[in-house]
Amino acid sequence: MKELNLQKIQNKLRNKFLTSGVKMLGPETIFFSNDTKIGKNVIIEPYVVIGKNVKIGNNVIIKSFSHLESCKIENKVEVGPYARIRPDTILKEGSKIGNFVEIKKSVIGKKSKVNHLSYIGDSNLGKSVNIGAGTITCNYDGVKKSKTKIKDKVFVGSNSSLVAPVTIDQESIIGAGSVITKNVKKKSLALTRSLQTEIKNYKRK
């Protein structure tokens, strides 16, 4: 009986959003909460779960296999596929969250991109920030959680670790494969990388 009731509730919610103009591909695979709020011209692809306290603006695309809870998604945002948006996250207008990205308790600024394979937690990103693949914010030291601040037009190279508390000032660049533990000044290039070693004519023993 409980399963039937849950099914009825979901069907009612799906019909409500379909009637209001939400475009759903495979509505039977999409799950909503009673308090879900969705704006105009929104597309939701199959296999999306929307938890409690989610507000979605206008002209948003939520791609398949994404999970959202307690977050605010502003206008013209693209999420997924395979994205996890955790509580206390705000995705500002025009931002893009790609596949296999987890965002927690963070603000992603206007037109900023976290395209793939990244974890952003307890962070504040400015406008037009680009986060390279495999980047993580190291926000927890086992005792307390600290903040990462990434200001406007910062470019973070792939496979970088940003160890909080840390501030990356505007228009700076983080070289790929870096572990950043100190603040980075405006318009700077910061990288931590050991020298590449090459042994010529090497033969395996």
Q: Distances in Å between the alpha carbon of 122 and those of 19, 24, 106, 107, 110?
A: 37, 32, 5, 8, 17
Give the whole-angstrom CA distance, residue 66 versus residue 46: 9
Which residues are annotated as catalytic?
116
CB 63 within 8 A of CB 47: no
Nearest to 100 by CA among 128, 124, 50, 136: 136
Give the whole-angstrom CA distance, residue 129 versus residue 142: 28
Q: Distances in Å between the alpha carbon of 64 and those of 17, 25, 46, 178?
A: 17, 9, 5, 31
Residue 201 Cα to chain centre, angstroms: 45
The C-alpha angle with vertex 85 and arms to 80 and 89, in degrees rounded to 5, equals 130
